[in-house]
Structure 1
């Protein structure tokens, strides 16, 4: 037990905590930095190279618990949505060879929805793009959130949803739709589904 190699240094602890939870170890360090430094100053040089296994266990448990809480909190407030846009899923369907995708992230704490749209092969320039709802697959609904600005490929957007809109999105009752002059009711469409 006299060998320094049998004991963990503060650098060893922070390295291991970082591997377990990159965000958690930083919080533990920031909250206890002055205490850690004071303990190192007040101990002898030999003692400074040793850290009590009990203290290590407490720090690791705090970091892991803190990390788990942070990850659950971040995961619980952010929901990812996706869809593939196809002419065959539009109502009514059409013969367009157009395809596309919409990927979105919804923050349940702020009701902010952010999205990215890509498409190709439409019969002509996109004239409009929207999220529609509430609607199940195979049924039409009014515009819930229009995509502002000129519709381009690729494009990004965001909107803050009302409580009712957020509930419909979370229930899978929204679809994305891109319109063209040849298909003014919608050329490609896809139901927004949560990715868990």
Structure 2
């Protein structure tokens, strides 16, 4: 009898853990992003490109990274603006090895920025010495 109860508790625990994992994955949105010069405003003619995944959780935390090639980036950000417009940076990305840029630990959007994200009004761009306003850009499309 105690073996059956232990098995039932173990099964219940596994079920609860599975449901918790599903709720965590449902609470975040992974957004694949591709960065090109054509997306910049104004457009930039460049061989540079980038791609990655940015994750925005329902608690408005931001994680993820992009990997670039063909550009010596001097800065990278997530900005607030709709497609075709430029806007202010809301998250400064951290430069890593080999053209990678990551959201620093603890990055978080405000409620206004989160609603802008849901509307498709956040973008990632990488700035270079030749294109200080941004050489490549990709809109975050939820």
Same fold (TM over 0.5): yes
Highest RCO, 1 vs 2 (Cα 8 Å, sep ≥ 6):
2
The size of the alignment, in residue pairs, is 140
Show the counterpart of 2:88: 142
Task: Name structure 2 gaps, 5 residues minimum.
Answer: none
TM normalised by structure 1 equals 0.59
Structure 1 residue 107 displacement after superposition: 2.1
| Native 8 Å contact 1:174 1:192 kept in 2 | yes
Bigger radius of gyration among the two: 1
1:118 and 2:64 are equivalent in the alignment = no
CA distance in 1, matches of 2:70, 2:98: 13
Q: What residue is the counterpart of 2:43 in the other structure?
A: 93
**RMSD of aligned Cα (Å):** 3.0
Q: Which has the higher helix share?
A: 1
**Contact kept? 2:120, 2:140, Cα under 8 Å:** yes
Unmatched tracts of structure 1, length 5 or more = 1-35, 41-50
Q: Which has the higher mean CA deviation after the structures are superposed, 174-183 or 99-108? A: 99-108
Cα distance, 1:71–1:149 mapped onto 2, change above 3 Å? closer
Q: How far apart are residue 177 of structure 1 and its match?
A: 0.6
Could you tell me which residue of structure 2 aligns to residue 83 of structure 1?
33
